Structure 1
């Protein structure tokens, strides 16, 4: 986190188009069951710009710090985004989560660990494309995690409903969206989310996935997304799932992915 904050202070002194950005969001879903509030601050630094000819022709660097809370799970995260061009780039980051969950709807917290400190280091790449009124995005993230706890129980990832082995492991996350812009402010489409945990001691892979029909709306400084579909894991069958998210964009942003 100190490195990210130092970088934000350094580039703020450089002569280029740059500005701070604040953002607040909330998300809810019935499976995985949860309600999360997120606050974040980022520093947008444009490294080149030809957007006067085409809106996406620019590149940027964007350090970002966020804090998530669902009261029982609290997470701090820092990341550095590097986008050579606005529609394609990558991010590297680290997060720390403190979890004090005592009960879960799908797992017995006496048999799996619902509490612990969870550390992650991750790499993510994003691609955003469009043609006419059609839009698409693809995100792939790979993360190494380690768990601070005294028992030998597998640890539950409350976001993907997958079990993380005691020793350091690997998790992959993929999110894809294909949609159609019905108006300047409304688009509809399909959202696919896939997650996979790899146990390095056995090479065993477990998966969870969700598919949703979603609608997204922009209204002033607010963005809304709602969707309905299915979600399931290798441990539990697919069932009806609903998601909802609202973002309060307090300041402008260079990011097309957030």
Structure 2
């Protein structure tokens, strides 16, 4: 407690049900360490615990190593051990155990000077989006977005010229696109631009448009749009501009 209690990165878990964990912490106050109270019901036997875990179906079970094998004095007593699927993760006294917890999202903090530089654009009512160019710093399981450092000034030379040319790509990212391409207005736009032979096929994620006279495929999907056009770059560019007409730039 004296060694680890000063850091908020540490956590102590109390499992004793018959003793107040607040009384145990009292002599060591003030504490920055996080405290969790998870009392263990010592009245449960192996059969009850196995039935309880089967009902709960936890993704992972952590238990002392002796609980995963019969007692040494009674090796035939398989009922005095935990048999689970997947097998429980066992630990020994003073051992360090890595738990396979996976999170889909992480909380990231923005520094105030970076937050002030953001320019949100409203893509629909109540929803705004802004592009961010930053440096991600991860330390002690904490993530912080910091402004991109500006290149240090150097004496005029070829190297300086190269730095000046590359810097805008870092500090000024290309705009992002949002929104969806509506089918009927897009077909009307194609017809207006002289593309009239269009075969439409519905898919699970959207539609596929076959421009038969031009032998071009356009995939309109929820998460992206693809133009498949071989050996006709001017036509591909023109179709791209028609698609961009329906999207919003951020």
RCO (CA 8 Å, sep 6+): is it higher in 1 or 2? 1
Answer whether TM exceeds 0.5 for this pair: no
The answer to which structure has the higher strand fraction is: 1
Q: Which interval holds the TM-score relative to the shorter structure?
A: under 0.3
The answer to which structure has the higher helix fraction is: 2
Structure 1-normalised TM-score?
0.24
Pick the structure with greater CA Rg: 2
